[in-house]
């Protein structure tokens, strides 16, 4: 336990923050699927939940439709369940949604010409950053080497340095 200069424990607020963070984490893990969306057939509902984890909420863009509370995500969840109830298999239901919204709706888009930069872009940025950092290091080393190799002093400069040192030693 850490006691501050006022005598109040700093450990207690930390514990409260940890508990609050844990509760927020538990709340954020709750799924956004509403009770009226859940299918009566558990096998069909399990398929719908698995598929909805692979679809991106086009409003939130960083969540699956299974996690998103956005109205459009709800519409996509309902549409997916409707397709499954109509007898579509998993790939047919996914194809139907991708046909309407494009590959952007997939959390893991396929490798295609129009998604090539999504797959290759991070590597290109990493290579460019590495090259830039290497160039920076080389320039720094070169500048340091140039700074340490000074030209020798001429006679006038040597006399001036000796005069300064003599003045300093005599004081």
pLDDT tens-digit profile of 93-148? Answer: 999 999 998 888 888 888 888 778 878 889 999 999 999 999 999 988 887 776 66
Per-residue pLDDT of 16-75, as tens digits, reads 666 666 555 444 444 567 776 777 888 888 898 899 999 988 888 788 888 888 888 889
Burial of 122 (0-12, 13-18, 19+ CB in 10 A): exposed
Set out the domains of the chain in order of their start, with CATH numbers: 1-30 (no CATH), 37-110 (1.10.8.640), 116-170 (no CATH)
Torsions phi, psi for 57 (to 5 deg): -75, 120
């Amino acid at each position: 336990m850490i006691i501050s200069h006022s005598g109040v424990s700093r450990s207690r607020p930390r514990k409260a923050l940890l508990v609050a963070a844990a509760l927020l984490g538990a709340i954020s893990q709750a799924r956004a699927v509403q009770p009226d969306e859940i299918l009566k057939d558990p096998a069909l509902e399990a398929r719908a939940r698995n598929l909805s984890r692979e679809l991106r909420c086009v409003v939130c863009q960083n969540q699956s439709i299974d996690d998103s509370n956005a109205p459009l995500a709800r519409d996509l969840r309902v549409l997916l369940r409707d397709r499954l109830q109509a007898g579509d298999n998993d790939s047919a239901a996914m194809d139907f949604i991708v046909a309407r919204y494009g590959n952007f709706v997939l959390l893991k888009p396929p490798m295609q010409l129009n998604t090539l930069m999504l797959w290759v872009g991070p590597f290109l940025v990493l290579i460019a950053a590495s090259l830039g950092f290497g160039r920076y290091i080389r320039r720094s080393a070169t500048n340091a080497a140039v700074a340490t190799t000074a030209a020798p002093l001429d006679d006038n400069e040597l006399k001036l340095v000796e005069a300064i040192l003599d003045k300093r030693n005599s004081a």
